[in-house]
Amino acid sequence: MATVGGLATVTQPYATTSGSPYTITANYNGDVNYAASAGSTTQQVTN
């Protein structure tokens, strides 16, 4: 996972659209400077 300016970017290739839509969830445990957080989104994979 790449982190630039506090932003994490992940790329996930899919070989098929089977199983779409996918739910993507991210969790951050926090540290001395930033509070913990979590988020999720649903992504549709199309041809």
Each residue's pLDDT tens digit, 4-19: 777 777 788 888 888 8
Number of domains within the chain = 1
Does 7 reside within a domain? no
Does 8 reside within a domain? no
Does 35 reside within a domain? yes
> What's the predicted TM-score (pTM) here?
0.57
2 has a pLDDT exceeding 70 = no
State both tokens at 23: 């739910």
Residue ranges making up the domain that contains 38: 16-47
Burial 12-46 (b: 16+ CB within 10 A, else e): eeeeeeeeeeeeeeeeeeeeeeeeeeeeeeeeeee
pLDDT digits (tens, 9 = 90+) for 20-39: 888 889 888 988 988 999 99
Does 6 reside within a domain? no
pLDDT band at 1 (very low <50, low <70, confident <90, very high): low
Q: 15: which DSSP letter?
A: S
Does 45 reside within a domain? yes
